Structures are given as structure tokens and as C-alpha cells.
């Protein structure tokens, strides 16, 4: 079984193109389908025609035999496959010149002391720092309380796909799972040689069928602002909005901050969670 578990696979471009081609129907691009089709989505020849390149050239792209496609070719393929902005950026990343395939030593991700102190000053909003493989590198007290239902809360992927509490904690688990995998796929395009990222993808590919299916789709998405729907065992339902910021002093890290709309039941629940997790006052 091909689990597509290595984000640093030799032909990342081909995998991405095949996955996106399979998701388009002929009618999506104005092609009148006739007869029974053996595979879902568009045929290679159809994408080649839409992009204005030869079928042989497009086949070489998918097979990894064409290493230096021009900007014009990539733009044409992106239009043919109806890629959105994030997917286009990912296409350019995986189509770029390959670097040495020498395996790197794992990088130790450290959060700067001043950033840790900043997290601790936010007593009324959960905040944490993510590494490129979505490891939770640091968190404040309220973020620790938010994820207290989980057996392990060290990595967003492992929490989402391997922890039994995840389907209950995430009120829309499928949306949360899709978003998390799409974020990881984007990080894989930025640094496909990251050994920690390969380790996480490998573990999830072996242990989770849901992850394997979503990883094979090659969806790409960065963390932006959106609402997250949670259910916490102590305080009940929460609807939290989050913002994600790149840490300038460590560009591979992201600062994530959750907030509740003022005056809502979620704000009340977050306040209650803060009081329940507050350190006891010394007498």
C-alpha cells in the first residue's frame, strides 16, 4: 500500500499534480465527457490541452522527469487545474530546484525566552507556539487548560488523529482534520527535507487511515483566521476565533492566539476555564 508518507519524496510535484487533476471533473473545465472513464478526474492529455503543452511534456512533469519547468508553464498548469492562491504558491515550491537529498540531523526547535514571557502575560486568552511539524513548543496556562482533555498534547496532528478525545473535543472534527493536514502539507512544501516533519507524517500514515486519505489529497492551506468549535469537559461548548502570526526571530514558528467574542457564552466559558485553572493562592 502506498501511504505517500514521505513529504520529501523524490517526486513531490508529480504527486501534487496527480491529486489535483483527480479532483476536477470534465464538466468543471468545459469538457464534454463521453464514454466510461477508467480513473476519476481529468486525464493527463486533457490537462495538457488546457495548459497548452504537449501530452508528453505534461507526462514528464507528473513523472518527475522534467525538473525545470518555466514560470509560464507553471502558470498555465495552475490555470488548467483551477488552483487557488495557496495551491499556486505550493506548486512553485515543489517545482523549484531540488537540493541535496542528504538526510539532515533533526533540528531542535526552541522558543525564545521573551516569547515565553509574552505568552505568560496573556492570562485571559489561550496562546501557544507551533513548530513546522505542528509540534506545540510552548503554551500559556490557559492553552494548557484548553487541551487538558487530551492524553498527550504535544503535536496538533497526533492530537487530532491519534487521541480518542479528539472527535468529542472538536465539534466539527472533519473540518479540523482537513485544516490541520492542509497546514502540514504547506509546511512540507516549504521545507521537504525536515526530518521531524517526515517523522510525524510517517507515524500518522501508519497509524491513521483518516490521515492517509487526507494527506493523499494534497490540499494546501496556511493557518489564517477562522472559528474553531470545541467542547471542553469542564466548561462545555466554545467557539473561539484564532489568529496566527509568523515569529520573525524564528520564521519556522507560528504564534497562535485564540479569542472569544466579548459578551458571548464562549467568553463566559473561557473565563470560567481560566478561574478553574488558576494557580492556588498561597496563604
In a domain, residue 45? The reply is yes
CATH number at residue 139: 3.30.450.180
Tell me if the pTM is above 0.85: no
Same domain, 139 and 265: yes
In a domain, residue 191? The reply is yes
| Distance in angstroms (rounded) separating the CA atoms of residues 38 and 98 | 33
Domain count, the chain: 2
Same domain, 21 and 121: no
CATH number at residue 17: 1.10.260.40
Choose the final residue of a domain: 33, 59, 94: 94
In a domain, residue 1? The reply is no
Same domain, 58 and 123: no
The pLDDT, as a whole number, for residue 198 is 85
Same domain, 50 and 181: no
Residues 6+ apart with CB under 8 A from 69: 61, 77, 95
Same domain, 254 and 138: yes
Residue 177 per-residue DSSP state = H
Residues 222, 186: contact at Cβ < 8 Å? Answer: yes
| Distance in angstroms (rounded) separating the CA atoms of residues 67 and 97 | 7
Same domain, 120 and 259: yes
Same domain, 205 and 121: yes
Same domain, 242 and 147: yes
All cell numbers assigned to 197: 516533519
Residue 172 per-residue DSSP state = T
The pLDDT, as a whole number, for residue 105 is 54
Same domain, 238 and 136: yes
Edge-first strand listing for the sheet containing 226-232: 136-139, 127-130, 250-259, 236-247, 226-232
Neighbouring C-beta atoms of residue 71, cutoff 10 Å? 9
In a domain, residue 107? The reply is no
Residue recorded with cell 482534520: 177
Mean pLDDT, consecutive 10-residue stretches, the chain (283 aa), reads 44 84 81 70 85 85 82 84 81 69 61 93 94 94 95 92 96 94 87 84 91 89 77 96 89 92 95 82 40
Q: Give the residue from 141, 129, 221 showing the smallest Cα distance to 183.
A: 221
In a domain, residue 282? The reply is no
Structural domain containing residue 135: 113-277
In a domain, residue 104? The reply is no
The pLDDT, as a whole number, for residue 117 is 94
Same domain, 134 and 52: no
Same domain, 165 and 32: no
The pLDDT, as a whole number, for residue 265 is 96
The pLDDT, as a whole number, for residue 35 is 64
Amino acid at each position: 500500500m502506498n501511504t505517500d508518507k514521505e513529504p520529501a519524496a523524490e517526486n513531490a510535484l508529480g504527486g501534487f499534480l496527480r491529486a489535483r487533476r483527480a479532483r476536477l471533473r470534465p464538466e468543471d473545465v468545459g469538457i464534454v465527457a463521453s464514454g466510461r472513464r477508467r480513473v476519476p478526474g481529468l486525464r493527463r492529455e486533457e490537462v495538457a490541452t488546457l495548459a497548452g503543452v504537449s501530452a508528453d511534456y505534461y507526462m514528464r512533469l507528473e513523472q518527475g522527469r522534467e525538473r525545470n519547468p518555466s514560470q509560464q508553464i507553471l502558470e498555465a498548469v495552475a490555470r488548467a487545474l483551477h488552483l487557488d492562491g495557496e495551491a499556486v504558491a505550493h506548486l512553485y515550491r515543489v517545482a523549484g530546484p531540488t537540493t541535496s537529498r542528504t538526510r539532515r540531523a533533526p533540528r531542535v526547535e526552541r522558543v525564545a525566552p521573551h516569547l515565553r514571557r509574552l505568552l505568560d502575560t496573556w492570562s485571559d486568552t489561550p496562546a501557544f507556539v507551533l513548530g513546522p511539524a505542528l509540534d506545540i513548543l510552548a503554551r500559556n496556562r490557559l492553552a494548557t487548560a484548553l487541551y487538558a482533555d487530551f492524553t498527550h498534547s504535544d503535536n496538533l496532528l497526533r492530537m487530532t488523529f491519534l487521541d480518542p478525545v479528539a472527535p468529542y473535543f472538536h465539534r466539527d472534527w472533519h473540518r479540523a482534520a482537513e485544516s490541520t493536514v492542509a497546514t502540514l502539507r504547506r509546511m512540507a512544501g516549504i521545507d521537504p527535507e525536515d526530518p521531524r516533519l517526515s517523522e510525524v507524517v510517517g507515524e500518522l500514515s501508519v497509524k491513521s487511515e483518516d490521515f492517509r486519505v487526507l494527506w493523499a489529497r494534497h490540499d494546501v492551506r496556511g493557518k489564517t483566521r477562522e472559528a474553531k468549535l470545541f467542547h471542553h469537559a469542564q466548561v462545555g461548548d466554545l467557539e473561539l476565533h484564532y489568529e496566527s502570526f509568523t515569529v520573525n526571530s524564528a520564521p519556522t514558528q507560528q504564534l497562535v492566539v485564540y479569542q472569544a467574542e466579548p459578551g458571548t457564552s464562549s467568553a463566559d466559558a473561557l473565563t470560567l476555564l481560566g478561574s478553574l485553572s488558576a494557580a492556588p493562592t498561597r496563604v
